[in-house]
Amino acid sequence: MKSGYAVIVGRPNSGKSTLLNNILGHKVSITSPKPQTTRFPIHAVYEDERGQIIFVDTPGMFGKIEDPVSKKINPLTEKSLKNNVDVVIYLIDHSKDRDFEENKIFGLIRPIRKPKILAVNKIDIKKPSFLEHYLFMENEFDKMISISGLYKKNINYLLDAIFDYLPIGNRIFKDEGRATPLLNLNSKTFSAEIIREKAYIFLRKELPYSLTVVVDEITPRNNKTIFINARIITNNAHYKKMIIGEKGRMIKEIGMAARKELQTATNQKIYIDLTVEVNAHWHEQLL
């Protein structure tokens, strides 16, 4: 059998998390229109009769680092490319032209002496297309595959290629009792990520990249309800008002959406007590 680590890299919003979620058939990484929604590498396991792939979904890399959050996140992707790598999947979004971010990532990948797959994502989008600006990269990779992570097109070919390049070996992860494919997120972290995703979706462009979520408590209640106590933390009192919304409508919407998704994921009744606080230095405790 085959087993090993497959690291997914790419620029922000190239579709890494959507691709991984659809490969696994289970949500393990949050998605949103905001760049760099993923803040730390997500480890998740895929298995079939051929063997086991440990996927590592990395944060999208910014070419220019202008905020304290990105300063902490970017090095994590670089580190992921140096540790436990058997195959690199470089995901590009052909509907966006190459720029400094793409050049920076390509420069990191180029010297890696491991099998590398160039995955051209979002082929469901016909126009605009800048594919010709990426074709020169093909010679630097062992294989080039066109896919749609969103619509699961050609994902089977991508999995075939990954298994072709993985080394022969025993299963790396052997916990038969795991409930999800996730390997490195506990229930508090996963719940916090779902709430953060819903905050990004509902707030859209109204809120800058300036919030985080902390889950302080997850407790089963006698009525078979899981009680979650969580805080949305932002760095400005003005943003706090926006997150709460008029008469508390926004935070209620965020909480309801998170509750529904967590109920679906856990198959249990969920109650979320969600509050908002201001801490200008929350990013100092990040990661």
**Where are the strands (E) in 26-138, listed by range?**
42-48, 51-57, 87-93, 116-121
Beta strands 143-146 and 116-121 are parallel
Report how far Cα 193 is from the mean position of its chain's Cα atoms. Answer: 10
13 known ligand binder: yes
Structure token pair of residue 269: 């009744």
Task: For residues 68 and 146, give the distance between their C-alpha atoms in angstroms, rounded to a whole number.
Answer: 35
Structure token pair of residue 125: 């989008």
12 known ligand binder: yes
Report how far Cα 280 is from the mean position of its chain's Cα atoms. Answer: 25
14 known ligand binder: yes
97 known ligand binder: no
245 known ligand binder: no
11 known ligand binder: yes
122 known ligand binder: yes
CA distances in angstroms from 243 to 187, 203, 232, 246, listed in the order given: 24, 7, 9, 9
58 known ligand binder: yes
Q: Nearest-5° angle of CA 254, CA 69, CA 252?
A: 10
* CA contacts within 13 A on the Cβ side of 219: 7
124 known ligand binder: yes
SS3 241: helix
- 85: which DSSP letter? -
Q: Nearest-5° angle of CA 144, CA 182, CA 227?
A: 140
Q: Nearest-5° angle of CA 87, CA 89, CA 92?
A: 165
148 known ligand binder: no
33 known ligand binder: no
17 known ligand binder: yes
115 known ligand binder: no
167 known ligand binder: no
95 known ligand binder: no
Name the one residue in this structure whose structure tokens are 């470089």.
90
Task: For residues 248 and 251, give the distance between their C-alpha atoms in angstroms, rounded to a whole number.
Answer: 6
Binding-site residues for GTP: 10-17, 57-61, 121-124
Binding-site residues: 10-17, 57-61, 121-124
